[in-house]
Amino acid sequence: MTDQVELFYAPQTRATGVRVLLEELGAPYKLNVLNFKLGENRQDDFLALNPTGKVPTVRHGDVVITEQVAIYLYLADLFPERGLTPPLDDPRRGPYLRWFVHMASCFEPAVVDRALKREEPPHSMSPYGTYDTVMENMRAQLAKGPYVLGERMTAVDVLWAMGLRWGMVFGVVPEFDEFKAYTQSYFERPAPIKVLQEDQHMATEQEDAAVQVGIA
């Protein structure tokens, strides 16, 4: 497919990581920015693409992809020449998929429970086991570093660098040395530097636009 990737976007959201990945891939893309404060994500045309009203959402030709992990996998596979996705016959392909899904199925549920001060479910029913186990498993994986899969960066590193950084900023992820070293190294790269700087300007502009129409 040769169609341009369209990313429906809001600054300082999960969509930020997807934009960073697009920059890492050197992919041409169109940014469709939504101002959540003005309710632009609740308009009918966007809800037709993603009924949850959330970003990231990607349109590529006739294909619409929602859900953060699905989008990362789709985009990395779309540009295999960039080397950010192991091919099917690569022994790293299994761990690559595992750590992608681990973010959605274990890390995020554990972090949300911690952030909302919810009691952990019984281990036998918990989708992630325990919070401490989730964090220690990731800590052990990064100790093998410098990347999630060892010596070579892949798309899964964008996902984990964004998630760990966010979690440490908000105090819901422990500041293990391994986490700090990993995120510090990743955020020295040109792609996240560019996107985070532009995100800050974009967020300020959206806040000003909301104030102008009387939305605090």
Task: Confirm whether 195 is domain-assigned.
Answer: no
216 pLDDT band (50/70/90 cuts)?
low
Given a cut of 60, is residue 192 above it in pLDDT? yes
Q: What is the mean pLDDT of residues 33-52?
A: 98
Whether residues 102 and 168 share a domain: the answer is yes
Q: What domain range is 149 assigned to?
A: 93-190
Whether residues 171 and 101 share a domain: the answer is yes
State residue 155's pLDDT score.
Answer: 99
Name residue 147's beta-bridge partners: 150
Whether residues 41 and 129 share a domain: the answer is no
Per-chain mean pLDDT for the chain: 97
State residue 168's pLDDT score.
Answer: 98
Q: What is the mean pLDDT of residues 109-130?
A: 94
For strands 29-33 and 5-9, give the pairing: parallel
What is the count of structural domains for the chain?
A: 2
- In whole angstroms, give the CA distance from residue 212 to residue 216: 9
Residue from 110, 191, 118 nearest 153 by CA: 191
- In whole angstroms, give the CA distance from residue 82 to residue 63: 21
Whether residues 17 and 61 share a domain: the answer is yes
Q: What is the mean pLDDT of residues 194-204?
A: 98
- In whole angstroms, give the CA distance from residue 55 to residue 40: 11
Whether residues 107 and 64 share a domain: the answer is no
Cβ proximity of 163 and 127 under 8 Å: no
What is the pTM assigned to this prediction?
0.96
State residue 123's pLDDT score.
Answer: 87
Cα separations (Å) of 172 from 56, 169, 179, 197?
Answer: 22, 8, 13, 24
Whether residues 117 and 152 share a domain: the answer is yes
Given a cut of 80, is residue 1 above it in pLDDT? no
CATH number at residue 64: 3.40.30.10
